[in-house]
Structure 1
Amino acid sequence: MKRLFIATLITLGCTSFLTQAQDVEITDPTSLTPAEYTITKVEVQGNERTRGQFIINASSLTEGSTIVYPGDQISRAVERLYNSGLFSDIKVYITQRTGSEIQFLIEVTEQPRILEYKLKGIKRSERRDLRDLLVITPGSVITDATKGQAINTIKRFYREKGFWFTEVEVSTEEVEDVEDRLRLIFDIDAGERLEIKDIEFKGNESFSDRKLRKNLKPVKEDAWWKIFGKKVYKEDEYEEGTQSLLDFYRKNGYADVRIVKDSIYTKEFNGLFKDKEGLKLVLNIEEGPQYKVRNITWEGNTVYNDEQLTASLGFEKGDIFNEQKFEQNTSINKDNSDIMSLYQNIGYLFFQAVPTIEKVADDSLDIHFDIYEDEIATIQQVNFVGNTRTHDDVVRRTLRTTPGNTYSRDAIIRSVRELSQLGFFDPQNIEPDLVPDQQNKTVDITYRLDDTQSTSNFEFSGGYGGTSIGVILSARVNFNNFSLKRAFEKGGWTPIPTGDGQKLSLGVQVTGTGYQSYSFGFQEPWFRGKPTSVGFNVSYNLLNYRGVNERNELFSSSVSMGKYLKWPDDFFSTQTVVGYQLYNVSGTEAYFAEGSSNLLSIKQVLERNSLDNPMLPNSGSKFTLSFEAAPPMPSFSEFYKIRTEYQNHTPLVDKLVLTSQVQYGYIGYFTKNKRTDLNKFLLGGTQLQQRQSFLYDNIDLRGYPGSTIQSIAPIVDGEKVGGTMFSKYSLELRYPAVSNEQVQIIPYTFADAGNSYLDFNTFDPFKVKRSVGFGLRLYLPVLGLVDLSYGYRLDGVDVPNTNNDVMPGNWEFLFNIGSPF
């Protein structure tokens, strides 16, 4: 049979395909009669990087399959190959055709591939950020899809930054000495970053535009006096803002509120000097009626009566219906007083409250609850995972959930809090997993922990405390999860014996004035397997004042024992501390009486602590009341001291935390002839600065220096003496700007006030030294908590017999290590 050479030529840019193959001897292709053929052979040419079998499979012209020719199957094969984006030219030839068989040759021209790509017309920082977003791989084929996806990514990047009218032109250029590789170039015009100049609300009758703009945050409208930050439109912020606006309406009883239409467009706005183009945002609101509660009814409840459940729900007849409050008080709220908690705290894990809200009249709601109490659930198994450094018994003794006990949601919440208080686990990663078994009325609890963060830290700091103090150098190492038992076991030092929850600290501090301090402390939180803490501390302090013939020494030691209480509630604890101090004061210019002085004291501390985090609390409170007495004995100093402190941490919106703190103290004496300045009160500075003033009880106060001479204290006969009373007040607002496993950064602002008084006659809680300022706390796993503050003094402090008074209107930088709470 004469060899046929029949071809169908398909090229890029064609809008239609030639569907009839043509024999060289046939002048009119339409004269062919469609017939079914079996494909016996398919060859591929022109493919250097693409597998031939892939091309055959993609075309569907596979050997053994059948095809009707003439027909549209060849054109569809070409279209499929073209849609792959891999080829710039495709030709299909019929190389042989018999009465029942047909053979094809597919000839392709492959698309060029990417050598590299460049971003032009934009800043270096923007190029860096875009390269993290663009998915363009060197060596991949340059296709329309690749270009389109990149263009969309670039435009979306700039739209999220508030840019409008972004234009992207794509071109290619050949690269010298590199065949079949092109450089892809994106020429970018970022457009114009437009601000929201006007936000208009339509349909709002119950609230003013100003009130609604306030509740549309984080979307903000630009104004001439708003000089910080661009008020640009970002889609994610707009979605957050509209949801916040709808929540505001629903809190005020408008349960049917909806945004029926919204639009944003550009227009010219009048500026101070010239007209500027900006954005106008228009929201059409359909408020609907404001609903009030009419009737609240309950059915199926036997454990609690209707009045108790209604009180927990927090609504009475005639109240405006607050949707958010309703949902929180039904399922879970921060006070743990919701209906679900009422039942689950006494074991009803499988309890259900199904509400039915019926709209009656035009603006009233009838609320009905069907209660399904079920049976009390029992805790079957309690497990924990993730404690790679902390021993199991340390975790187990902390938990408030015990196998065999009745299930309690409150016990789980308390367990999570107590685990956070240990300081060994990341509080954000403590997760309790529940596996309930409704058929058997049991539940298994697994606590997921993360103790990858270091529990030990090394503190090293330096600073300058003024002419009277000089250079301050301090170093301290704290092992907060120490194991004394493992210290004596083979292989226990890896590199530090850890896991038993014990605390070991070693510290040294020196200053340019000749001050030296050495300390050692150890604490066992569970002595002999019981929730009783036992600890001891020893320290030695030496001070030679610069230019003063005086030498002060203090040897101090103490033994403590603490215990948790169950009354008035189980947030209370008590601690007893027995201490011995030996003072040695010498020198002709001594501020204290020369000679040795012994002091034996007993201190009793009562504390209620509900803080959620020991280092950086976000909620809870802490109240401390202490009484210390050094009884009168021959050759011993004597005094009695009362101190009290209360602090409260309140979470506000968006992780803001407001902290308020109040402290008072008083020192008295059993006999008149043994009164000294030992252990009286000085205010100012930080604990790091004050450690050298070990003869006093030093109270830190930001904005004021911490040296003995410049401290806040009463003056008698031209000499500064310690106060027998003090008061201190503090207000702080802080925000966790960065919070992860590696570092925590918490900026804050503060207002502090305090004073030290000579006696009851001069005591005035409102006559205080005040300061305001700002600061930054850094929590680093190695260094622990570092506190930097910059305080502005509103009042001055007199320094007798010198010209170095602490003047008001000045700033004071302070540096401290350790928890302020």
Structure 2
Amino acid sequence: MKKFYALLLFILVAIPHNTFAQGGDKYTINEITVTGNTAFNASTIITYSRLKKGQEVSIGGDKIAEAVKKLWNSNLFNDVKIYFINITEDNKVDIEINLSDLPELNEVRIEGVKKGKKEEIIDENNLKPRVKVTENLITTTRNYLTNKYKKKGFLNAKVNVVTSEVTNDSIEKTRVNMLVNINKGNKVKIKSITFNGNDKLSDGKLRKAMKNTKKKNPIRLLKRSKYVEEDYKEDLVSLVDKYKENGYRDARVLRDSIIYNDDKTISLVIDVEEGEKYTFGKIDFVGNTVYTDEFLSQILRIEEGDTYNGVELKKRIADEEKPDGIDITNIYQNTGYMFSTINPVEVSADGNVIDLEIRITEGKPAYFNSVTVKGNDITNDHVIYREIRTRPGELYSRANIIRTIRELGQLGFFNAQAIVPDIKNPNPVDGTLDIEYTVEEQGSSQIELQGGYGGGGFIGTLGLSFNNFSLRNILNGEAYKPVPRGDGQSLALRLQASQFFQTYSFSFSEPWLNGRKPFQLSTSISHSRQFLFDPQTRRADRSRRFNITGITFGISTRLKEPDDYFLFSQALSYQHYDLQNYNTGLFTFGDGSSNNLSYTIGLTRNNTYNDPIYPTGGSNFAVSAKLSLPYSLFNGVDYKALKEERDGLDPVADIDRIGQIDQERFKWLEFYKVKFKADWYAEVAKKLVLRPSVEFGFLGAYNNDRGVIPFERFFLGGDGLGNFALDGREVIQLRGYPNQSLSSQDGGSIYNKFSLELRYPITLGQGAKIYALSFLEGGASVNSFRDFNPFDLQRSAGVGVRIFMPAFGLLGIDFGHGFDPLPGLSQKNGWETHFIIGQQF
């Protein structure tokens, strides 16, 4: 493509010498014409040039120069000329503006990358049709792509951009096609990392400090040896920080170089200057009136004589990686002193002993003046404001801002990654500030529509979950979009059916009863019908059925002590079990009924960070006890005698009498059930999250003669998804094994489980959150403490992926490998595939 240029051509006429000295003769514009290869309207060009008839101009004057500059800077032309023509004796002149349009981009072809990356490159470089093709566009595109791939480790990446003019174009415009050829080459591996000048710290310690830049090592799996410039520059900073952590505050990298090897690898050579080792001397606090020296010293936690550690000193003053950490800055920021500054100053370094002054400017306490929210198009203001911890007139607190971000993210109504607090109008003189929280609504309602084969026939499921429901607008027709929303309530409907069972359930919860405090009221109703299989017709026998009807009322409230992350909950539930000619072995009687009236008390604490889908820190634990009344204490039944009679009966000949005894034993279910679960989240590297977890459950009986009930049991193994039964069973996930295969047929009364997951996000956007995971798990289920050994576990490991879309909830797939045999078998179970639908995180 020809080179673009600008040319300003002045036609000089004979002008007296003294006139030239004053800037040239003055001429009055008579006419202005536009010529050349341009598709723009002449009047538009003249207007844009700001030249007009009757205007005085001079050869080489500012107005002509400005007109050329303005037309050139429009980036619409590749040639700009202005001519003075037809100069008359009375100093009138005609102006001719001669232009040539820049060519427009017709189409672009990108070679050398995958199809999915081409649109990304077009968007990043604005290579859209009709874009003006300039030399700057070509150069910028080439340099951007070259640097992009070099930063990703493709040091030998080459990008070539070629344009060709489109011929036979019916439109009178110059158009070009563009070919972008990308040759990334291979990522360059690091053969060796050599340090020069290090006597105090070994090569091994320095290499370890470089967390992202590693040399080739066949036994290393988690960190690759490919060179990435951005990571390398960060690691050079980490290298110096390693010296500072060990007292060498003057350490620095003198130079670093890359050597290209014949085997297409590189070697890194880093020259360091270590300097002398220092220790901390006296540390004085200056300017502090709010807190005493002794208190601040306890927060600083540095003693005279300690090895000088500049990195740790900085964290004790203000830890940027932990916005809610315990440091001196946060101590002030969380008690109103927003305008405070804390600066450590070295006042002496004699004898390699550094004396410090921590100079504090406290400023005035700051108070919130205005607290606003924007971006909530669906959720009503009161739902948001009740979660906000920063109130007008209250003292400024960074901790309360961070907590507000977390609470808004935990609602599930907003994109937790996009919640932004914007501090406005900070006034250190008045001690006031405004804060505005920007939120981004995301779909909080979910639909579950499934169909598949299982249990001998087709199973269909329809579920609707509205997690930001508005009950008060249920009669308001205008609020149905498609349902009333915005008040933060939850309403769920679910129907699942096959020829062998039907289940219906409804639940509703109000998290802030009366809107004054976080006091949640919830209720649920469920009904299930199950039918036995008829081997003759191979269909469901509807004359042999088992019905379960249940209702639950629950309340929960947020506690203030020991902190307000604790939630105390209580629930009262009732289930009625009705059997008609339903002999399965679950009960020894096939006709009859049983009742389950129970009270559940629970305590949970959840302080996981911001995003409930992908927490990056904090913990979540829950302990609960589900209790029935101890009927055997007051109903007058001699269960010991019944047990002795039952043990003496023939299980075949006396089946009817056994059924009568068991009908009496289970007329009202008597039990207690204790559960505990705890999860921890830790960000071990950027976005890489480790999640350990432990679980335990125990189902017991008040009266051993009455025995442990056949309901409310634990079923271990598989994907952890519950089935259609409403008998209180707990389905526990343990991947790498078939569903519920690690418990007896009737379930276990004790289980424990340990799990370790490593998670990494692929995307955390609003439309979908996707993360990959790997896991190690172990668990066991038994029927008595005599058989319980918390370390005798069925073990598994595997990988998986999770996709969360607001409209459909959590979806995922896991590939788990069971290292132990199933009960009764001798060979390990091997690989299992598990599909996850709607399971918690």
Fold shared by both chains (TM-score > 0.5): yes
Alignment match, 2:738: 705
Closer, same or farther: CA 645–101 of 1 in aligned 2, 3 Å: closer
Alignment size in residue pairs: 778
Q: Could you say what secondary structure the match of 1:164 adopts?
A: coil
Please say if 1:521 is aligned against 2:507: yes
Please say if 1:637 is aligned against 2:624: no
Looking at structure 2, the residues matched to 632 and 116 of structure 1 have their Cα atoms a distance apart, in angstroms, of 83
Alignment match, 2:574: 580
Deviation at 1:90, TM superposition (A): 7.3
Looking at structure 2, the residues matched to 492 and 33 of structure 1 have their Cα atoms a distance apart, in angstroms, of 79
Q: Could you say what secondary structure the match of 1:652 adopts?
A: strand
Q: Is the 8 A contact 1:432 1:447 kept in 2?
A: yes
- Which 5+ residue runs of structure 1 have no aligned equivalent? 1-11, 24-28, 270-276, 714-719, 800-804
Please say if 1:408 is aligned against 2:397: yes
Alignment match, 2:615: 617
Q: Could you say what secondary structure the match of 1:310 adopts?
A: helix
Alignment match, 1:716: none
Deviation at 1:234, TM superposition (A): 5.1
Looking at structure 2, the residues matched to 13 and 740 of structure 1 have their Cα atoms a distance apart, in angstroms, of 42
Closer, same or farther: CA 355–63 of 1 in aligned 2, 3 Å: same
Closer, same or farther: CA 202–520 of 1 in aligned 2, 3 Å: same
Alignment match, 2:330: 341
Q: Which amino acid aligns with 1:587?
A: Y
Deviation at 1:58, TM superposition (A): 11
Q: Is the 8 A contact 1:86 1:143 kept in 2?
A: no
Deviation at 1:259, TM superposition (A): 3.2
Q: Is the 8 A contact 1:199 1:213 kept in 2?
A: no
Q: CA RMSD in A?
A: 4.5
* Residues 142-194 of structure 1, C-alpha deviations (whole Å, 9 max, x = no match): 76556555554565466456253737475645724667736456585738546
Deviation at 1:339, TM superposition (A): 1.1
Deviation at 1:776, TM superposition (A): 1.5
Closer, same or farther: CA 581–222 of 1 in aligned 2, 3 Å: same
Q: Is the 8 A contact 2:717 2:742 kept in 1?
A: yes
Please say if 1:734 is aligned against 2:753: no
Please say if 1:601 is aligned against 2:598: yes
| Equivalent position to 2:837, from 788, 795, 817 | 817
Show the 5 A alignment for 1:84-103. Answer: none
Closer, same or farther: CA 106–574 of 1 in aligned 2, 3 Å: closer
Q: TM-score, normalised by structure 1?
A: 0.81
Deviation at 1:734, TM superposition (A): 0.8
Show the 5 A alignment for 1:240-639. Answer: 240-264=234-258, 266-269=260-263, 277-332=264-319, 333-358=322-347, 360-361=349-350, 363-434=352-423, 435-450=425-440, 452-462=441-451, 472-510=459-497, 514-528=500-514, 529-546=516-533, 551-585=545-579, 586-594=581-589, 595-612=592-609, 613-633=611-631, 635-639=667-671
Looking at structure 2, the residues matched to 783 and 255 of structure 1 have their Cα atoms a distance apart, in angstroms, of 54
Show the 5 A alignment for 1:715-754. Answer: 720-754=745-779
Deviation at 1:809, TM superposition (A): 3.7
Alignment match, 1:778: 803
Please say if 1:672 is aligned against 2:662: no
Q: Is the 8 A contact 1:59 1:81 kept in 2?
A: no
* Residues 655-698 of structure 1, C-alpha deviations (whole Å, 9 max, x = no match): 11111111222222222343232223221234434443736333
| Equivalent position to 1:650, from 670, 673, 682 | 682
Show the 5 A alignment for 1:33-112. Answer: 37-39=25-27, 47-49=36-38, 64-66=56-58, 110=100
Q: Which amino acid aligns with 1:705?
A: P
Show the 5 A alignment for 1:124-273. Answer: 125=115, 130-134=121-125, 148-149=139-140, 151-153=142-144, 155-156=146-147, 159-160=150-151, 162=154, 164=156, 166=158, 168=160, 170=162, 172=164, 175-176=167-168, 181=174, 183=176, 188=181, 190=183, 192-193=185-186, 195-205=188-198, 206-216=200-210, 218-221=212-215, 235-264=229-258, 266-269=260-263
Looking at structure 1, the residues matched to 80 and 180 of structure 2 have their Cα atoms a distance apart, in angstroms, of 27
Q: Is the 8 A contact 2:380 2:486 kept in 1?
A: yes
Deviation at 1:557, TM superposition (A): 1.4
Closer, same or farther: CA 366–511 of 1 in aligned 2, 3 Å: farther
Looking at structure 2, the residues matched to 231 and 60 of structure 1 have their Cα atoms a distance apart, in angstroms, of 66
Q: Could you say what secondary structure the match of 2:686 adopts?
A: helix
Q: Is the 8 A contact 1:353 1:370 kept in 2?
A: yes
Deviation at 1:605, TM superposition (A): 1.1
Identical aligned pairs, as a percentage? Answer: 30
Q: Is the 8 A contact 1:114 1:137 kept in 2?
A: no
Closer, same or farther: CA 618–173 of 1 in aligned 2, 3 Å: closer
Looking at structure 2, the residues matched to 664 and 123 of structure 1 have their Cα atoms a distance apart, in angstroms, of 51
Alignment match, 1:757: 782
Q: Could you say what secondary structure the match of 1:593 adopts?
A: coil
* Residues 474-518 of structure 1, C-alpha deviations (whole Å, 9 max, x = no match): 332111111211113353323211222211111122357x23322
Closer, same or farther: CA 261–638 of 1 in aligned 2, 3 Å: same
Alignment match, 1:8: none
Q: Which amino acid aligns with 1:653?
A: A
* Residues 290-315 of structure 1, C-alpha deviations (whole Å, 9 max, x = no match): 44322221133344332321221232
* Residues 434-470 of structure 1, C-alpha deviations (whole Å, 9 max, x = no match): 44443344444433333x20111112345566xx676
Q: Is the 8 A contact 1:267 1:278 kept in 2?
A: yes
Greater alpha carbon shift after TM alignment, 428-437 vs 648-657: 428-437
Closer, same or farther: CA 639–263 of 1 in aligned 2, 3 Å: same
Looking at structure 2, the residues matched to 187 and 734 of structure 1 have their Cα atoms a distance apart, in angstroms, of 37
Q: TM-score, normalised by structure 2?
A: 0.80
Deviation at 1:337, TM superposition (A): 1.3
Alignment match, 2:640: none
Q: Which amino acid aligns with 2:833?
A: F
* Residues 268-326 of structure 1, C-alpha deviations (whole Å, 9 max, x = no match): 23xxxxxxx44444433333334432222113334433232122123223334443433
Looking at structure 2, the residues matched to 411 and 82 of structure 1 have their Cα atoms a distance apart, in angstroms, of 54
Q: Is the 8 A contact 1:356 1:369 kept in 2?
A: yes
Q: Could you say what secondary structure the match of 1:325 adopts?
A: helix
Q: Is the 8 A contact 1:481 1:503 kept in 2?
A: yes
Deviation at 1:792, TM superposition (A): 0.9
Alignment match, 1:802: none
Deviation at 1:766, TM superposition (A): 0.8
Greater alpha carbon shift after TM alignment, 386-395 vs 684-693: 684-693
Looking at structure 1, the residues matched to 128 and 480 of structure 2 have their Cα atoms a distance apart, in angstroms, of 49
Q: Which amino acid aligns with 2:196?
A: G
Looking at structure 1, the residues matched to 32 and 375 of structure 2 have their Cα atoms a distance apart, in angstroms, of 60
Looking at structure 2, the residues matched to 779 and 339 of structure 1 have their Cα atoms a distance apart, in angstroms, of 39
Looking at structure 2, the residues matched to 287 and 604 of structure 1 have their Cα atoms a distance apart, in angstroms, of 61
Alignment match, 1:6: none
